[in-house]
Each structure stands twice: as structure tokens, then as C-alpha cells.
Amino acid sequence: MRSAKVFISYVHETELHKKQVLDLSERLRSDGVDCNIDQYEVSPPEGWPAWMRKQIKQADFVLVVCTENYLKRYERDEESGKGAGAKWEGAIIGQELYEAEGRNTKFIPLVFTRDDLKHIPVEMRGGTHYLLDSDSQYDELYAHLTDQPRTVKRELGTLRQLPPVSEQRIAPSKRASAPEPAPVVSHEGKKRQFPLALLVQPGGVVLFARAQRIRAHGKMITLSLLPSDPRQIAAITDLERSSREPIGLAYNQTALFVRLRSMEQIIAEEEVWHLEFEEDEYATRGRSFEFNMTGYSSDEVAELRARRILLDEKLDVRFGGKGNLNRQMLESSVQSGYDSKFAIVQSPLPALYAELGGNEDFIEAARLYSVLLLLLTHTVSQILRLNLETRSDGTMAVDFEGARPPKYANEDPPIVRIEGTCKLR
């Protein structure tokens, strides 16, 4: 941990923009970071050009607030007579980067809106940038400035000597064709004694399979899957092709995002696929920034999303008719959450029921899919109760209770409770 000297380079665009920069500087100073901006000065004795050069030279970090106007002035693409200060600072920054031969440990691009990401100068795009639209992003920036890594590398262990394996191995390079994005579920009765695992690629394959073993140790999770048909094998191999993206994993009452590290197929008495994953803590945790939307609190929006997942409830059922624009904004929040990789347009449970034909696997699979979506869309942080029961009329009774993160440490967590019926067919 260290206390850094920081300077913020920005453009005086609007009063709102100037206030955003001032608020950021004040917050950093209150958190022990020696941050400076031009708004603290009236008229420096050495003159503004020398003052700006000194601030950039003496700073440990320069926060570059990127906007369209800043980029124009940084690239000298602004008309003469406008933005002389930003042009001057941009020239100094560009020269320092040039002399450092592109190595950049000092200049940190940041934006206040996602639209401004495209205005980051090309020389700074190779490093980390920050979108300051949430407290969690401020914490990430603060960790950078104070040298507090968010994830600490574990100590290096000792090498393990593995025993020889006599089973026949088949190289995973022999691929089956990828299936359509639809639930792939095992129906093989003899394997029902094993726990069910769920792997979901956002926007892609949904795979349910029995796991001979599930082992979680630190950030590493190992699954020994028992595929029951070629479709499941194809879905498993597709995970390796798409290993660059985080995958949703659920088992029991656990759900997290993981990245595939290794895959091995073994055929002995039965076919077993050993998959080793590492948790993507950043994706699991997300960058949640919750706010009130169209008169609904973040907890009320979370309840609407939970009702969508569990009851397939559309917004029409509960929306109070507050106007089309507000309705669209609320629908967007219900679908996408505050940092979710899953768009909850509708409940997946009716389609899952149709896939399984309502057999005895359905309730187990439906419960697991619900756990994954409720947790990984940050609808709730903990599932306290989730009872599902199918009925002869093609509906399912739902009794759910989940806890959400408290806003303050001394508060009890908000509770989301849902009782209702989901129409499955």
C-alpha cells in the first residue's frame, strides 16, 4: 500500500463534467490520495503552462478523463484558439509516452460513460482503463493508485508426481459437431445417483450432465462428467472451442463463472470427461452498480427479475403504466441486471419442461437452472429456500426466498420472497 501523488487531466466541457472531476478528486483526497486538479488554483504564480508541466512531471499517476473533445485536443484536431490547456497537457503526455518508448505505467485513461470508451487515445489503449459508473470501479481505480492488488497470487506449491494411467485415452482433438443452443440433459436412469451439474455459455450451449465427482479446491473446480449421448459429448467439446469466454457453472446451491483450463476424455468401463476450471472471480462478482429505476428501487427490480426467472412473469403483469420510455428502461434493467451476462427475456423453465417431457429429471434441472440465473444475474446473493413442485395441469408451484447484499454493513440483508405458479405448457 502506498500514498500516490495524482494529477487529473481533463477538458472543461460542461459544469457537470467539471463537477464530476472535482468530486472524483475530492473523494480520492478523502481516501488518502494526494490528488490535484486545476480547479484548486486561481492563478499559479509560474503561469498555467509551467504549472501543468510541473503537475504532470511530479505526479506518480496522471488520470486522463477521455471524452470526444479531449481526444480532439490531444490529437491536435481541434480548431485554433479552443482548448489550449488540454492541447498543452496532451502534448506533454504524448512526449512522455514517446520518450518511454510506449511503456506506460503513469497515464491511466478513465471515462464517466461507456460511450466515451472509444475516445481513449490510441497510445493508452494497451493498458487498463476505468469506467467510473459504480463504486466497485472506483475501488478498482483506488486499488491501482495505492498498489493494492485485488487478487493476491498464491504461494507456489510443490510439483506432484502422477501415477501411470493404463486406461485407453482418446485425444480431444476428435470433435463432434456443436449442437444447437438448447438444453442437453441426461435421461439415463442408472446415473441419477450422481449429482447434476449445469454448464451454460451465455448465449450458447446449455449442458446438464451427471458428475461422477465434483471437487472444489480454492479457485479450482474439477468435474468428472458422465455423458449419456453424443449430444452431450458435442456440448462438452464445444466448451473447449469457446474457452475464451467465462462459462456459468452451477451445482447444488453454488453458481459461479469459470474458465476452462483443461479437458481429458477417458474410456475404461465407461466414458468419463475430466474438466478442470478456474473461477473467474471478476466475472462472478461483477461490477454491480445498483440504482433506482423509474420509481422502482434496486430491490424491487431484483424481485421483478426473480419473478421473470421463476414464474415467467412479463412486465405487463406488475407494471403500473408509468409511460413507454420508463417501461423500456425498466424492462432493460429486468432483463440485463446491473452487470449480467445473461439476458432474462423469459424464463427458461417452460422450454426445459418441453425438452424433458416433464420426466423426473425436470425438477432437479429446473432448480439448478434457477440457482444459476438467480445468483449470476446478481438478483440475490444467497438462496435461502427454493421449493418447486409440478402439478398435473402443466404448471409448477414456486416457493422462493433469497437474500440480497445489504447496502450497509450494519443492516440486515433485504429479502426477496416469491410464491406463485409458473405455466409450463
For residue 238, the model assigns a pLDDT of 84
Residue 121: name the closest of 109, 111, 130 by CA. 109
Kindly report the CATH number that applies to the domain delimited by 168-284.
Answer: 2.40.10
Q: Which residues contact residue 229 at a Cβ distance below 8 angstroms, ignoring those fewer than 6 apart?
A: 186
Which secondary structure element, helix H or strand E, spans residue 253, and what is its range? none
Walking along the chain (425 residues) 10 residues at a time, the average pLDDT comes out as 88 90 93 93 89 90 92 78 71 81 84 89 84 86 88 77 58 43 54 83 86 89 89 85 78 91 85 90 67 68 91 73 62 71 87 81 92 91 92 92 83 90 91
How far is residue 375's CA from residue 110's CA, in Å, rounded to a whole number? 29
- Name the nearest CA neighbour of 189 among 143, 154, 228, 151: 228
Measured distance CA(219)–CA(262) in Å, rounded: 14
- What would you report as the CA-atom Rg of the chain, rounded to the nearest whole angstrom? 26
Q: What is the DSSP string of 154-187?
A: PPP-PPPPPPP--SEEE-TTSPPPPPPSSEE---
Domain residue ranges in the chain = 5-145, 168-284, 286-423
CB 268 within 8 A of CB 170: no
pLDDT for 221: 92
SS3 of 88-135: HHHHHHHHHHHHCCCCCCCEEEEECCHHHHHHCCHHHCCCCCEECCCH
Is the pTM above the cut of 0.75? no
Instruction: Tell me what pLDDT residue 160 has.
Output: 76
Crossing angle for the helix pair 298-311 and 324-336, to the nearest 10 degrees: 70
CATH for 5-145 (3.40.50.170, 3.40.50.10140, 3.20.20.100, 3.40.109.10)? 3.40.50.10140
Residue 167: its pLDDT value, please? 47
- Report the distance separating Cα 48 and Cα 92, nearest Å: 13
